[in-house]
Amino acid sequence: MRKAIAFLCFLQLAFVGLLRAQANRATITGTVTDSSGAPMAGAEVTAKNLGTNVVTSTVTNADGIYSIPNLFPGTYSLEFKKTGFKPLAFPSVTLESTQVAQMNALLQLGAVTDTVPSQRTHL
């Protein structure tokens, strides 16, 4: 019986440790649309931690929505791409611990080699 209680206590401590580890993370989420306001499914969204160079990518769903969870606090560059549209870049997005940053993107028709820089740099 004592072994079972000790084991349960150990499991609780391990579980609390896992939850605490996630508390120091941030999320970037938002919607990607085209110039008519229609949601863009399959757009690639890439967040690069400028301090560590760790890159995290995702794609938008059928409603143009994306989410990049579990990011360490810090400064990121954020890029949105879709074939046939000009890429959109946010060169400096600062994330605080537990922050959920909403970064929406409007992609313009154009060549893939064009990049549209954003003026919004801090949330």
Segment (H or E) for 17:
helix 2-22
Q: Does domain 25-117 have CATH number 1.10.1370.30?
A: no
Query: Which among 49, 50, 69, 74 has a CA at the least distance from the CA of 58?
Result: 69
Give tens-digit pLDDT for 46-105: 999 999 999 999 999 999 999 999 999 999 999 999 999 999 999 999 999 999 999 999
State how far the Cα of 81 lies from the Cα of 106, in Å rounded to an integer: 11
- Confidence at residue 98, expressed as pLDDT on a 0 to 100 scale: 97
Q: What is the pTM of this model?
A: 0.73
Q: Where are the domains of the chain?
A: 25-117
